[in-house]
Amino acid sequence: MSNSSSLSMAPRVDLNVRPLGVALFLLVLGAWYLAQAVSGRQSALYIVGALLGVALYHAAFGFTSAWRVFIADGRGAGLRAQMVMLAVGVALFFPALAAGTLFGNPVTGLVQPAGTSVIFGAFIFGIGMQLGGGCASGTLYTVGGGSTRMIVTLLFFIIGSLIGTAHMPFWTSMPQLAPLSAVKELGLAPALALNWGIFALIAFITIVVEKRRHGKLVPAHVQPPHRSPWLHGPWPLLAGALALVVLNFATLALSGRPWGVTSAFALWGAKAAAVMGIDTASWAYWSTKANAAALASPISQDVTSVMDIGIVLGAMLAAALAGRYAPVWRLPLRSLIAAIVGGLLLGYGARLAYGCNIGAYFSGILSGSLHGWLWLVVAFIGNVVGTRLRPFFGLEVERLKPTAC
C-alpha cells in the first residue's frame, strides 16, 4: 500500500479553528500578563491549569460519570483509574508532606476537620454531581469544551458557594474532629501502606462487582483515535489519571499546597455580591485573615482562580483540537432545572465539606487527611441518591444493552 493511500485512510482531524485561536490567544496573553503583573510562578500555575483542562477533556476524566456507571451498571474502569491516580499520588505527596519541603520550598497539605459539616456537605455534593452533570473539575472542563448546560451549573455552583460561606459559622459550630493527617499520626511508611491497601481493596471490589454483573471486565469506551491522539485525543483513562496526579504534584511544588477548585467559586460569588452592594466583607467567613486578603485582592493574585480559568481555556483548546467544540444553546426545561438545583447543591456542599472532588477527595486523600476519606464515603452515597433521581429530570443513566454474545 502506498504512503498516499495510507494517509488517506488515516483518521481525519477537523479542527475548530476559531475557538482554537481564541483559546491560544487567551492562554498566551494570560500567561504574559500574570508573569508581568504577579509573578512567573503565578503564570506557570495558569499553564498548569490549562494542561489540567487538556488532560481532563482528552481523557474524558469525569468523577461523576465514573461513579454513576459503577452505581447503575457495575462498570468500574473509571473508579480503578482513580485508585491508580491516588496510589501514585500518595507515593509522590506523602514524602514531601512528611518532610515539609519540596525542592527547597515549604509545602503543606489540605488537612481539614472531619465532622457534621463534611458529612452533610459531601452528601448533597454527591447528589449535585449527578443532577448538575459534573463535579467541580468536570464542570470547568465541560464549560471549556462548549457545554452550555454546564454554564448554568457553574453559575449556580458559584451562587451555592456564596450561600455556603454565609452559613459557615453555623456548620463549623457543629460536632467535628480536629484535623487529622495519617502522615503525621502514623508516620510515612505506615500511612503509605494503609492507603495503598485501601486503594487495592476498592479496585478489587470493583472487579468483583463488574465480573458478577457482566461476566468479564468491560473495556472502557474509547472513540476512534485521531492520527495524533496525544494532540487531538482521546486519551486512555490511565493516561489521564497519571497526567492529573503529576500536574497536582506540580501545583504542590509551585504553590506550596495541592490543587483545589471551589474556593475560587466562593470568591467570585463574594466579589460579584460586593459589586451589587452586599457587604460580604463583614461576614465571618470573609473576615479571616486569608479570606479577607483574597477578597480585597485582584482575582489574578488568587492561585485557585487563575488555575480554574486555565482549566476552562485548556479544555476549550482540547475540544477545538478534537474538532468537537460545538455549543448547543437549547436546553430541555427539566434538564435546566436539574442544572440549577445541582449547581446549588454542589456549591453549598463544597463549602461545608471543605472542598469538592478535587480539594477534599483527590487532594485531601493525597494530603493524608481523614476528612478526604469521610468525603469519599458520604459523597458516594449522595451519588447513589443522585443517580436514582436523574430519570425524573430526563437525564440519562448509562447501562450496557444486553447482547446475544
pTM above 0.85, yes or no: yes
In this prediction, residue 404 has a pLDDT band, given cuts at 50, 70 and 90, of: very low
Q: What count of Cα atoms within 13 Å lies in the side-chain half-sphere of residue 216?
A: 5
Q: Which residues pair with 105 in a beta bridge?
A: 102
236 DSSP assignment: P
- Contact indicator for 86, 362 with CB cutoff of 8 Å: yes
Q: Does 404 map to a domain?
A: no
Q: Which residues of 313-341 are buried (b: 16+ CB within 10 A; e: fewer)?
A: bbbbbbbbbbbbbeeeeeeeeebebbbbb
- For residue 241, being part of any structural domain is answered with yes
Task: Give the residue numbers spanning the domain of 146.
Answer: 16-220+228-393
Please check whether residue 1 lies inside any domain of the structure. no
The Cα angle at residue 139 between residues 136 and 141, in degrees rounded to 5: 110
The DSSP output letter for 285 is G
Calpha distance 51→57 (Å, rounded)? 10
pLDDT of residue 13: 55
| Assigned domain for 11 exists | no
In a domain, 319, yes or no: yes
pLDDT in tens, 353-384: 999 999 999 999 999 999 999 999 999 999 99
What's the structural domain count of the chain? 1
Domain assignment of residue 40, yes or no: yes
Confidence of residue 162 (pLDDT cuts 50, 70, 90): very high
DSSP 115: B
pLDDT digits (tens, 9 = 90+) for 194-250: 999 999 999 999 999 999 999 999 887 555 655 677 787 789 999 999 999 999 999
- Is 90 a domain residue? yes
